Amino acid sequence: MPPSAFWSPQQHISGITLVRKLGQGGMAELWLGVDDGRRVAVKRLLPDLVGESEVQALFLDEMRVTRELNHPNICRVLKLGHEGPVPWLELELLAGDPASAILQRAGAANVRWPVPLVASVLRSVARALAYAHGLALQVVHRDVSPNNVFICWDGGVKVLDFGIAHAVGRTVRTRTGEFRGSMSYASPEQVRGEKVDPRADQFSLGAVAFELLTGKKLHAKKSAFQVMAALTESVEPFPRVDAVSPLVHPKLADVVARLLERDPARRFASMADVAAALTAWLDETCDAASCDAAALSAFVHTLCAARIAEQAAQYEGA
């Protein structure tokens, strides 16, 4: 393995000083760094995967797509580069956790997310995806899930990980019959391996909405085979969120039910229309102070105090 494969604290990479490794996934690792006095995150392909052409092509496609995205609800890419043969991205450093982690803490504490806050988070995600869908690249995320909805401690909301996004000019193409993404949140057409359009992201957002509003997964306690069957063979409508949780207002449940339509033609015309429907419900039903960034920040600070302190210590010294 070449020397460039080994990163270490205090190493300098294209003007970035590496501080410490923050974590690692199946395809990439994440480092804390400092660039011109600013804390940043650096995501790079795992060196062991450099020789695997399709994995490397997926990472390079992510670099090409994300560098074109500039929206307040999408994690910003600040810089792209290679260290030897290993590609990396410099990202804005986010203080917070994925919605999946916050859902787990809420479940453990027997706490429900306030419905107005959920609607506000969903609107932020819808706005980010509407922006991505409307670009010349025609970006379809294809992996909208609680893991990729990031809740910042200050109340911000960011969409992460466009690694398998469909976009004009991508090198890696999903072959007919092939599935990529998180099956528990994927649309029926995506699981069938059909060509997807922006309406597939609507269904995934509906599955996220169902979980945030009810505390239960759309496909709770089902095996991967059962989930696939529920998505591709069943014709029954998915449960309404207000049937599972009476706390959810029927009009908001109507929005989620439309997102979860099996037939893409029965969903909203666009993600911008989804954001507009959520805005209309919030304006009609909720006091602004119950669903703004300050309210979301207060909620996560109460629920995640220990994690906030732990992460602050992790970021110290940068």
**Residues forming the active site:** 143
Q: In what order do the strands lie in the sheet with 77-83?
A: 12-13, 16-24, 28-35, 38-45, 86-92, 77-83
Q: Tally the residues of the chain.
A: 318
Token match 């906030």: residue?
308
Give the CB-side neighbour count of residue 60, counting CA atoms within 13 A: 15
Give the CB-side neighbour count of residue 12, counting CA atoms within 13 A: 3
Angle at 140 between CA 134 and CA 142, to 5 degrees: 155
Cα(257)–Cα(238) distance, integer angstroms = 8
Cα(136)–Cα(150) distance, integer angstroms = 25
Q: Which amino acid is at 311?
A: Q
Helical H segments across the chain, by residue range: 53-66, 99-108, 115-134, 188-191, 199-214, 224-232, 241-244, 250-259, 271-285, 293-303, 305-315
Q: Is residue 159 helix, strand or coil? A: strand
Q: Which amino acid is at 253?
A: A
